[in-house]
Amino acid sequence: MTFCARDRRPFCAPGKHSCGALYDLLAPTKEASKKDGWNHLVITARGPKITVAMNDEPIIDADLDRWTEAGKNPNGTKNKFHTALKDFKRDGHIGLQDHGAVVKFRNIKIKLLDCESGK
């Protein structure tokens, strides 16, 4: 998922590199980031299903099993990944990355979900 500071970028329609996007894969459905202050994110991953809510606004609802071809999104556009997302591991490390800008995180919480009950 992409994090960015809105004050560094002019407002435009959300794209695959916008705040809240699944990087190079899927644009958020709307611009939900705050210009000032902290953004609140809830990222949920249940098997291939990924949802993202930013500031209580749902912005991503994706099924990674739809990415069946390396380097290609379900809509036919290109992406940077050399492996189809349906073949990515569903467990492992969580990485936080920046591209040279000041980035701050706080109150990060990780909760193991019960896949059977959906809780």
DSSP conformational letter for 6: G
Q: In this predicted structure, what is the pLDDT of residue 119?
A: 53
Global pTM exceeds 0.75: yes
Mean confidence (pLDDT) of the chain? 87
Q: How far is CA 69 from the centre of its chain?
A: 19
Strand order of the β-sheet with 49-54 is: 41-46, 49-54, 57-63
- Higher-confidence residue of 79 and 97: namely 79
For residue 22, what are the β-bridge partners? 26
pLDDT tens digits, 44-73: 999 899 999 999 999 999 999 999 999 999
Residue type at 119?
K
Count of Cβ atoms closer than 10 Å to residue 54 Cβ: 23
> Does 9 have pLDDT greater than 60?
no
